Structure 1
Amino acid sequence: MTRSTGLPRIDRTGLLSVATAVPPHLLTQVDAARIARTLFAARYPDFDRLEKVFATTGIQTRHLIRPVDWYLEQRGWGERTEGYLDGACDLFVDAARRALDAAGCQACEVDTVITISSTGIATPSIEARVHGRMGFRPDVQRVPVFGLGCAGGVQGLALADRLARAAAGSTVLLVAVEVCSAAFRLDTLTKANIVATALFGDGAAAAVLRSGAVGLASIEGAGEHLWADTLGIMGWSVDEVGLGVIFDREIPPFARDNVGPAIDEILRRIGVERSAVGRFVCHPGGAKVVQALEATLDLGQGTLDHERAVLAAHGNMSAPTVLFVMDRVLKAGMPGRAVMTALGPGFSCGCVSLERAA
């Protein structure tokens, strides 16, 4: 039985479109493993054991903002930031234009722009830097958000819903853009860094939302769960060279043991029973994380097929990745209700429940 205490359809936010974009430089996982061996094997004694992660991630290809050779030299903050800004601006424009076109919307009709990004520092923020290229109005409301990491796609959608509902008929453009490759490090000989070189890629995804619209689906509600004393599980460290990945090996078992009950509680607050969910749309952080999510959500092994397909083609792009999955689910035919979920720094879990348009 479905129990919904959320907003009536007429007061909800409609999801009008989802679109994705990737940068031009393709890296195969075979080449990534070969390059990593060249860079790390002689300097990291445990590399032979770690090397298998390149074959077990479920990743076949990734996309980068720079040619591979650019990453084979030491880079400081300045060069990393330049790469981030160039790549993020181009990806923003590409994804945003695709989403606006799919929604039948002009940039000048957008009332609020939300930019989700945690892989670089931009002041002025990304949406300000592309303001002229996009054709946004001078009075467009800008909301740049930093620090949500892999949870940014889901939490950004929840924020877009709240801001859209703040004004009747308001149109919100959400863009999640990450240049994970700007944080690749040659100088950091740790297991977390080597695993990161096997997992992360660059990409962007955008969505257009409008309060009171029908769209592809309507947002029923959203929620977040933050676990206490888990700051060391995922995030960034900062030093004189750049950002350094914090990536704990306990993420998959933690997810398996804790995420299911947290999502049940979020759904309870929204007013949706888990049995009423036709499809969970999950952020695929890695092959083991996907398996852990299937276990904690009592899904059959292999159920999260779109998640595995996105991971194989693009790797973990942080915040945009779950929107890549949502794009595939929508194109394949969304069930009556879908719940998007992603894990991120904090350590946290975010959820957004969507009901398919009639």
Structure 2
Amino acid sequence: MGSGEMVHRGSLKKASPGKATILALGKAFPHQLVMQEFLVDGYFKNTNCDDPDLKQKLTRLCKTTTVKTRYVVMSEEILKKYPELAVEGLPTVTQRLDICNKAVTQMAIEASQACIKNWGRTISDITHLVYVSSSEARMPGGDVYLARGLGLSPETQRVMLYFMGCSGGVSGLRVAKDIAENNPGSRVLLATSETTLIGFKPPSVDRPYDLVGVALFGDGAGAMIIGSDPVSGIERPLFELHTAIQHFLPDTEKIIDGRLTEEGISFKLARELPQIIEDHIEGFCDKLMEIVEYSDKKYNKMFWAVHPGGPAILNRLEKKLDLLPEKLNASRRALADYGNASSNTIVYVLEYMIEESLKMKMKDNQGDSEWGLILAFGPGITFEGILARNLIV
């Protein structure tokens, strides 16, 4: 596994007393880098499939997803050791979990280590752990293995969030915010880790929707440190988490449908998903924006850290809210560089958001918008949103 780290510039704005802030970010990836232009031939070779129609469809999808590169746990070595993973209908959940449980723990450890290094304080200062994954299943859960792998104190208070899909990263951030604000002096490590290997399958004419996932999803891990009242001169707050809300849409449970089967996890995303998000996004965002008196549709006064579920979702959100194209730059860059890495992706978006803000400041001595929204959409259908302040602008 390989890790990435980012050295953050010092903050220029002070955080509000008692409000949770993101104090550091970190990320990590498996070693296997997949270039989108070579994905189709490699996937069909590895699964011993020669269906020209399916191959043509995946080729089209790979272009429309806008993904350029992704990291994946799956490798030729794994397929040589477990050839049954590429065979239709074989029970392989045991083999998949043996691989995935270890892989997500290792990536989570590396992302957390990168985050702690960026934070600048010692690991013994972490008081709480929130762990998010939709790619493993075991008891005890991955939170215990992550805590042990990092060397956290046995008294570290842990929370697990399993199978929340793409909304998991922002869900975890909401939980971490509550913990930080209700436990003065606490420092919460939020870690997310995902791999698509848990649902890897050969192409099938009976499951054409599987090809969307093949063209879109990637693997990796992300981490954040969250705490209130940053220590001056030591901690550098990046974003203040002002208000968090969650909303689920009744009767949409089958729109994002995931099931753990004998062949791993099977996902099905309905075609209506982008339209449903478009239909409800305005009202959801307005609830958060009213708090800072931006209720009169001043969407372009905000920054937008949106989980890039796919280009269709970003395009519809941009059109519905009449956003300037640059408002979703961070989301589009994360999608191009890492694919949709489920719960992890919001970490990558926030890193790019910081980079975009610093570029803007150096360009015209003014930062990007101070207030903004951190958004993600997951099974339920569930909307997760956080009203945030950019403390680097």
Please give the TM-score of this superposition, normalised by the length of structure 1.
0.91
Q: Does 1:312 align with 2:322?
A: no
2:379 aligned to 342, 345, 348, which one?
345
Give the corresponding residue for 2:84.
Answer: 74
Deviation of residue 45 (structure 1)?
A: 5.5
CA shift for structure 1 position 36:
3.8
- After superposition, give the CA deviation of every residue in 1:180-217 in whole Å (9 maximum; x if it has no partner): 23211127541221111111110111110112227222
Query: Does the alignment pair 1:119 with 2:142?
Result: no
Moved more, 174-183 or 139-148: 174-183
Report the Cα distance in structure 1 between the residues aligned to 2:329 and 2:251, rounded to whole angstroms.
Answer: 32
Give the AA of the match of 2:217.
F
Kindly indicate whether residue 238 of structure 2 is the aligned counterpart of residue 216 of structure 1.
yes
User: Does 2:168 match 1:161?
Assistant: no
Question: Does residue 1:275 correspond to 2:298, yes or no?
Answer: yes
Q: Identify the residue that residue 192 of structure 1 maps to in structure 2.
A: 209
Task: Return the match for 1:29 from 36, 44, 57.
Answer: 36
Letter in 1 for 2:247: H
In 2, distance between residues paired with 1:151 and 1:42?
A: 35
Offset at residue 153 of structure 1 (A): 1.1
Instruction: Check whether the contact 2:58–2:215 (CA below 8 A) recurs between aligned residues.
Output: no
Deviation at 1:253, TM superposition (A): 2.0
Distance 1:49 1:356 in 2: 41
Alignment of 1:282-301 (within 5 A): 282-301=306-325
Query: 2: distance between equivalents of 1:142 and 1:19?
Result: 19
Do the aligned partners of 1:180 and 1:318 also contact (CA within 8 Å) in 2?
no
Aligned equivalents of 2:44 and 2:261: distance in 1? 25
Deviation track 1:39-93 (CA, whole Å, cap 9, x = no partner) reads 4864585553454111111011110123245358333111110121121111111
SS in 1 for 2:298: helix
Aligned to 2:70: 62
CA distance in 2, matches of 1:243, 1:204: 19
The answer as to whether partners of 2:96 and 2:197 remain within 8 angstroms in 1 is no
Count of aligned pairs between the two proteins: 351
The answer (yes or no) to whether the contact 2:203–2:210 under 8 Å persists in 1 is: no
8 Å CA contact retained: 2:24, 2:237: yes
Matches of 1:193 and 1:52 in 2, distance apart? 14
Q: 1:138 aligns with which of 126, 142, 154?
A: 154
Shift of 1:28: 1.2
CA separation in 1, counterparts of 2:52 and 2:199?
19
Show the counterpart of 1:354: 388
Shift of 1:303: 3.4
| Structure 1 residues 46 and 136, CA gap change in structure 2 (3 angstroms) | closer
Q: 1:130 to 1:237 in 2, by over 3 A?
A: closer
Percent identity between matched residues is 23
More divergent stretch after superposition (341-350 vs 212-221): 212-221
Distance 1:67 1:141 in 2: 35
Asked if 2 retains the 8 angstrom alpha-carbon contact of 1:112 and 1:173, the reply is: yes
Shift of the 281–61 alpha-carbon distance from structure 1 to 2, 3 Å rule, reads same
Distance 2:40 2:240 in 1: 42
Helix, strand or coil: the match of 2:322? coil
Q: Kindly provide the amino acid, as one letter, of the partner of residue 104 in structure 1.
A: G
Question: Structure 1 residues 133, 17: closer, same or farther in 2, change over 3 A?
Answer: same
